[in-house]
């Protein structure tokens, strides 16, 4: 073997293979941020307004609606309890509704007006016959109304006072509705009553009351056919031709 300069054999170097990392996400700058995006904990103007909106304050109508609901369920009306449930003072409710009798009166008057409006659409006949039919239907409906009968049974003396005296607006409202019907028929020429309309309306309501509450007042069974017949006679009685209403 000859002495000679030998070249060192170098192994070829292998370059390490780099593993691909996660792709860089684009940075969301203020310029590129969507206009409708907002931090999850930040309230929008709408949310802030809804959150800060004060609760609705009770009104006299709220007291009326609550009292009517209680009356329909057969509960006795207690102004203090109504005030407590509405979150207002007793003095406030008394200022709204007046006396307890007046509150009952408003509830009963509203119920009566609703019944009359409904029955007017189905009543039949003309002139005195129509008034008599309205009387019969009204008395029959009121007698069958459970809230009214229960109200009378709970305290008959108090109930009759509310329904038939000046301590509440019930009777006056009933007379007004009756007079309105009589004027309508008179203007149509269907009736020419001997009595003036207001007096006749008052008598019709008093006749109806005496029959509707006869079982409470005198222990007599109500006879609504007799009441309707009496009303027909009253309305059919005509004034002299020369007499002006």
Same domain for 186 and 75?
Answer: no
In a domain, 130, yes or no: yes
pLDDT values of the chain reduced to their tens digit, one per residue, 245 residues: 444 444 444 555 555 555 555 555 555 555 545 555 555 567 888 877 777 766 688 999 999 999 999 999 999 999 999 999 999 999 999 999 999 999 999 999 999 999 999 999 999 999 999 999 999 999 999 999 999 999 999 999 999 999 999 888 999 999 999 999 999 999 999 999 999 999 999 999 999 999 999 999 888 999 999 999 999 999 999 977 655 44
Same domain for 191 and 134?
Answer: yes
Same domain for 123 and 230?
Answer: yes
Residue 44 pLDDT: 85
Q: Which of 114, 136, 111 is nearest to 123 (CA)?
A: 136
Same domain for 72 and 174?
Answer: no
Same domain for 117 and 196?
Answer: yes
Q: Is the whole-model pTM more than 0.85?
A: no
Same domain for 84 and 135?
Answer: no
In a domain, 41, yes or no: no
Residue 188 pLDDT: 96
DSSP state of 106: H
Name the region of 88 (left: φ>0; alpha: ψ -120 to 50; beta: rest).
Answer: beta
Same domain for 86 and 113?
Answer: no
Same domain for 113 and 232?
Answer: yes
CATH of the domain at 210: 1.10.357
Q: Quote the tokens at residue 30.
A: 């203020």
Domain count, the chain: 2
Same domain for 79 and 138?
Answer: no
Same domain for 136 and 86?
Answer: no
In a domain, 24, yes or no: no
Chain centroid to CA 210: 30
Same domain for 126 and 192?
Answer: yes
Other CB atoms within 10 Å distance of the CB of residue 177: 21
What are phi and psi for residue 193, nearest 5 degrees?
A: -65, 145
Residue that terminates a domain, selected from 46, 76, 98: 98
Q: The domain containing residue 190 runs over which residues?
A: 108-236
């Amino acid at each position: 073997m000859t002495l000679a300069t030998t070249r060192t054999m170098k192994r070829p170097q292998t370059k390490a293979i780099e593993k691909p990392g996660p792709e860089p996400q684009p940075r969301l700058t203020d310029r590129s941020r969507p206009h409708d995006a907002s931090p999850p904990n930040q309230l929008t103007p709408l949310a802030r307004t809804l959150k800060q909106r004060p609760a609705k304050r009770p009104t006299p109508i709220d007291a009326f609606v609550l009292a009517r609901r209680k009356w329909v369920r057969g509960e006795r009306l207690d102004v203090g309890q109504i005030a407590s449930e509405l979150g207002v003072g007793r003095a406030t409710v008394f200022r709204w509704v007046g006396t307890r009798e007046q509150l009952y009166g408003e509830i009963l008057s509203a119920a009566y007006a609703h019944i009359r409006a409904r029955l007017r659409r189905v009543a039949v006949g003309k002139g005195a016959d129509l008034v008599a039919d309205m009387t019969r239907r009204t008395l029959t409906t009121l007698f069958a109304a459970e809230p009214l009968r229960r109200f009378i049974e709970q305290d008959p003396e108090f109930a009759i006072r509310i329904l038939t005296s000046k301590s509440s607006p019930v009777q006056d409202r009933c007379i007004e509705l009756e007079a309105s019907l009589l004027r309508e028929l008179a203007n149509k020429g269907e009736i020419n009553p001997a009595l003036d309309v207001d007096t006749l309306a008052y008598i019709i309501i008093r006749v109806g009351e005496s029959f509707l509450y006869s079982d409470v007042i005198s222990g007599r069974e109500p006879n609504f056919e007799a009441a309707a017949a009496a009303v027909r006679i009253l309305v059919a009685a005509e004034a002299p031709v020369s007499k002006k209403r």
